[in-house]
């Protein structure tokens, strides 16, 4: 089996307490690699290296333009190694190779985008209201960043944190999930090849007790960028009370997709399929609450059923496969339990609802659930799997109310050919992203993030780079006269 070490302070290291873990190939259900786990001592070493890098002239005195050139170099390396990294991610997580390779190739554009912004971070000279004072601001790196990423879409989610942080001049400890961490650790080789000074980026993984908790509560962490589930996020927020680190959270979702009776049915069906079965449903923005105008409900169900009749569930490395395995067996158990509860509530399974025969325990067929009430379990629980639920509505007001009837607020979709309705409805949905007549589109230029329990803060877009900075104000007395006596009032 392959073995992956920790990357700390520019060096490849064995975990200091000797703890290792295995990672599973979901397509086979068998172990395929092992990796070293970080201990508290390893976390401390990574943070110390990052703090030291901020004071090292090799990074501290590097011009913003030079930082941008390093990021351009990293972008080129990511693009060149997209196939290699993608195949590792597919083996480790079960996601389709065509998706992991394509997504990794596109991730290079995130590094290029922030490379271009690196020398666009500008301070200002202030028109101060006091004579003989020259006052200006500088935009400074916030400091040491803990970037915590989950196993799904990890190359993308790492880039949305690492790229702006490095462009701003920060030092980063990238904590990969202990579930399927191999591509993140392999990615560290590109950091090394790109020529970043030692300590600027470390890549570690490990369990909560020995790695995640010591990292997020470490007194020298200045900024936490976290993507994951709400329960873990609550612990992260509590940990940040120990160091007052600025924290952003990109959490779960239960996104609504509203389809009105004037929508193009083919387009709407494709949007629902992409939003639910893309990445085998393992996406925070999965559009798992399909809200369909009653006059077209039956027609849309028929269209979706027809389009899904020949979907291939199988080997994620095979280009003919449409859905691969789920990353963990726990997801399959959660799907089954949620489906049982929904059926007990009166929901009907139109297709799917079971595991394919002759596959590992990680597989589950694409499933369509027809619901009569918004209280149906599949409309409430984030299952992180290929399950689509449809619920009819009768009016625009009802559709908006149903869309907002959720603890989450990350993504949403609207399918309509009425441009006035598109603007009207999209503005009323409480979510960080709304796609109209499309779904799951992304760009480094467009910020994303959530409302409610989908978290706070935004990633991507030009403003995100400022989240990794602090403003410093400098006052200079330009008068030739000595400073006045502070106890003599004029």
pLDDT at position 66, please?
98
The alpha-helical segments, DSSP class H, found in 21-63 are 40-55, 57-60
pLDDT at position 54, please?
98
Contact in structure between 148 and 224 (CB atoms under 8 Å): yes
Cα–Cα distance measured from residue 339 to residue 388, given in angstroms and rounded to the nearest whole number: 11
pLDDT tier, 1 (very low <50, low <70, confident <90, very high otherwise): confident
Contact in structure between 308 and 350 (CB atoms under 8 Å): no
Cα–Cα distance measured from residue 447 to residue 150, given in angstroms and rounded to the nearest whole number: 19
Decide if pLDDT at 63 tops 70: yes
In angstroms, the first-to-last Cα distance of the chain is: 79
Question: Which tens digit of pLDDT belongs to each residue from 419-472?
Answer: 999 999 999 999 999 999 999 999 999 999 999 999 999 999 999 999 999 999
Cα–Cα distance measured from residue 84 to residue 111, given in angstroms and rounded to the nearest whole number: 18
Q: Cα 285–288–293 angle (5° rounding)?
A: 120
- Indicate which residues carry an active-site annotation: 250
Cα–Cα distance measured from residue 175 to residue 158, given in angstroms and rounded to the nearest whole number: 9
pLDDT at position 83, please?
97
Burial of 193-230, coded b for 16+ CB within 10 Å and e otherwise, reads ebebbbbbbbbbbbeeebbbbbbbbbeebbbbbbbbeb
Cα–Cα distance measured from residue 227 to residue 233, given in angstroms and rounded to the nearest whole number: 8
Decide if pLDDT at 155 tops 90: yes
Contact in structure between 324 and 316 (CB atoms under 8 Å): yes
Closest CA to 201 of 145, 142, 117: 145
Decide if pLDDT at 488 tops 90: no
Please state the rounded mean pLDDT for residues 211-235: 97
Mean pLDDT (the chain, rounded):
97
Q: Which domains does the chain have, with CATH numbers?
A: 2-251+450-474 (3.40.605.10), 256-436 (3.40.309.10)
Decide if pLDDT at 489 tops 80: no
pLDDT tier, 358 (very low <50, low <70, confident <90, very high otherwise): confident
pLDDT at position 490, please?
65
């Amino acid at each position: 089996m392959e073995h992956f070490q920790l990357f700390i302070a520019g060096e490849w290291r064995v975990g200091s307490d000797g703890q290792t873990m295995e990672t599973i190939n979901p397509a086979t259900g068998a172990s395929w690699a092992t990796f070293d786990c970080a201990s508290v001592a390893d976390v401390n070493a990574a943070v110390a290296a990052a703090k030291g890098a901020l004071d090292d002239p090799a990074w501290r005195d590097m011009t913003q333009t030079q930082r941008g050139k390093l990021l351009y170099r990293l972008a080129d390396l990511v693009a060149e190694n997209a196939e290699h990294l993608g195949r590792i991610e597919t083996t480790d997580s079960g996601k389709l190779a065509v998706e992991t390779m394509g997504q990794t190739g596109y991730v290079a554009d995130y590094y290029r985008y922030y490379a271009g912004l690196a020398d666009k971070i500008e301070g200002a000279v202030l028109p101060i209201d006091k004579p003989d004072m020259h006052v200006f601001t500088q935009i400074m790196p916030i400091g040491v960043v803990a970037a915590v990423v989950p196993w799904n879409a990890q190359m993308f989610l790492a880039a949305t944190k690492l790229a702006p942080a490095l462009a701003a001049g920060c030092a980063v400890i990238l904590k990969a999930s202990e579930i399927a961490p191999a591509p993140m650790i392999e990615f560290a080789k590109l950091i090394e090849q790109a020529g970043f000074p030692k300590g600027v980026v470390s890549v570690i993984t490990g369990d909560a007790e020995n790695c995640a908790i010591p990292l997020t509560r470490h007194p020298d962490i200045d900024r936490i960028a976290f993507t994951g589930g709400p329960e873990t996020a609550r612990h992260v927020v509590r940990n940040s009370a120990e160091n007052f680190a600025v924290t952003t959270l990109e959490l779960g979702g239960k996104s609504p997709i509203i389809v009105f009776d004037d929508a193009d049915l083919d387009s709407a069906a494709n949007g629902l399929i992409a939003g639910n079965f893309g990445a085998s449903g393992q996406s925070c923005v999965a559009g798992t609450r399909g809200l369909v105008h009653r006059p077209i409900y039956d027609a849309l169900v028929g269209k979706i059923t027809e389009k899904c009749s020949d979907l291939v569930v199988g080997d994620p490395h095979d280009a003919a496969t449409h859905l691969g395995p789920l990353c963990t067996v726990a997801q399959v158990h959660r799907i089954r339990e949620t489906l049982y509860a929904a059926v007990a509530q009166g929901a009907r399974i139109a297709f799917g609802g079971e595991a394919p025969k002759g596959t590992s325990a990680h597989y589950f067929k694409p499933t369509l659930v027809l619901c009569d009430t918004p209280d149906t379990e599949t409309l409430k629980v984030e299952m992180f799997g290929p399950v689509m639920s449809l619920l009819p509505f009768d009016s625009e007001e009802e559709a908006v109310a149903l869309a907002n009837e959720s603890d989450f607020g990350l993504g949403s979709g609207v399918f309509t050919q009425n441009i006035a309705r598109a603007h009207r409805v999209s503005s009323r949905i409480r979510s960080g992203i709304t796609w109209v007549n499309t779904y799951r589109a992304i760009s480094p230029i467009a910020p994303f993030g959530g409302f409610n329990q989908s978290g706070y803060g935004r990633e991507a877009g030009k403003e995100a780079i400022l989240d990794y900075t602090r403003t410093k104000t400098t006052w200079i007395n330009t008068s030739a006269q000595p400073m006045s006596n502070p106890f003599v009032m004029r």
